[in-house]
Structure 1
């Protein structure tokens, strides 16, 4: 059963819009570049965990209101602490469901790390990125664990040392982004294209793929990785979801994955 919910009040810093199986969470602090205070992080995590645990929700989209997607942590907030920061990023990174970053504008500092915890990243073509921490005598320590594995040591060091502006085209070629859109209409269309692709994918298989990529790209020894791969292969080939998908393939039907949503 589809359900629909909408919370869209101007005085809320985190907005939640649920339509059918898609939850959109919007950072709504445009007057401060959607920078994150601890209270905002707490509210985001509460909202994010809510939709993650909801069996009806299959895909989570994160975006921002106004000019910016996210400009990182609000450094004027005296309550900022490393443990809360790590929990914030890890919660999104470890989500068993696909998370799409709908990047409506520039992204700075911790906002880039936030973006890197998401699986699909689609940005406007005039978006730009910058690790501005170094210009304030700071270091992007927490987010480095998400950036370096994808961008690489050389480019990450360059970008973090200089704080230079990184265009959307540069970001696309340096593994920041999935694709770029020329305007807001195309951004909506491209996000919807990926949503439709993900909706046609098996929910359990997608969750397993996210775990598989994490293990295979980790620093675990080869034997540990191989044993995990064998276990995944065995579990999947004997799963009800795979049997259902293969049956639909033989019948040349598009599988309806609704019955498997509650098993994530």
Structure 2
């Protein structure tokens, strides 16, 4: 039986987390959510994983929630639905705070919760043919647990439009709105662009990249006051005296590659 989620570890510490249900356009259910969450938690703790790539097999990235799963949950109680929703919320949160850089590769359709997965990643590369849609209101639902990440990525003005209208929008518009970082012409170029980005990331200090993610989360939408100023000073002081900070500065001054860069 084919596994619905596959974690592939490749050279140089790059993990590929693959949604592998192309026969249903990679629609996800509670089983896939649980498996994705488990793999993310494992990757976060694994020092050998330096970059995580989230991708899927087949024509479409993901059509969102599986119809069978939604039908099953519609018959369940409020408490069961609340617990189920918290699991999806945990997945989004874990992907968002992962201490490793995350790259999302989008081909074809990214609907519903799949837009949330993209919004939680640090880098999103999509093809020109990709289409995005916050489709929940079409079936009487709302994109609730993904909303914090989608609104942060797109801004409240555009998010409000597409959450209410359920219109689909192109990769070019998604790029303009800030949901997508790069648009490539074909599916084949997804891997090429991903490879170029990975090469760039592997030149950087793993500790510093994790600290940079934490820094953005801490500083975003914060009022600039004495407490924030002191916090940012503390952060740079801590990383300067850390082993990787010392190694990076020494390598720069000695005009050599730091130890995290393979020769």
Task: Give the match for residue 40 of structure 1.
Answer: 32
For 1:137 and 1:220, the matched residues in 2 are separated by: 37
How big is each residue's C-alpha offset from its partner over 1:122-175, in whole Å with a ceiling of 9 and x where there is no partner?
Answer: 111110101111111111111110011221111111111111111111111110
Unaligned segments of structure 2, at least 5 residues: 74-80
Length-normalised TM-score, structure 1: 0.89
Task: Give the match for residue 9 of structure 2.
Answer: 18
Superposition map of 1:144-163 within 5 A: 144-163=147-166
Task: Give the match for residue 174 of structure 2.
Answer: 171
Task: Give the match for residue 140 of structure 1.
Answer: 143
Unaligned segments of structure 1, at least 5 residues: 1-9, 260-264
For 2:152 and 2:226, the matched residues in 1 are separated by: 21
Task: Give the match for residue 77 of structure 2.
Answer: none
| Partner-residue secondary structure (3-state), 1:100 | strand
Task: Give the match for residue 49 of structure 2.
Answer: 57
Task: Give the match for residue 262 of structure 1.
Answer: none
Match of 1:109 among 85, 93, 112: 112
Task: Give the match for residue 214 of structure 2.
Answer: 211
Match of 1:131 among 114, 131, 134: 134
For 1:219 and 1:195, the matched residues in 2 are separated by: 30
Q: How many residues of Structure 1 are paired with residues of Structure 2 in the alignment? A: 250
| Partner-residue secondary structure (3-state), 1:138 | coil
For 2:120 and 2:147, the matched residues in 1 are separated by: 11
- RMSD (CA atoms): 1.8
**Greater displacement, 142-151 / 248-257:** 248-257
For 1:221 and 1:248, the matched residues in 2 are separated by: 33
For 1:237 and 1:124, the matched residues in 2 are separated by: 39
Length-normalised TM-score, structure 2: 0.90
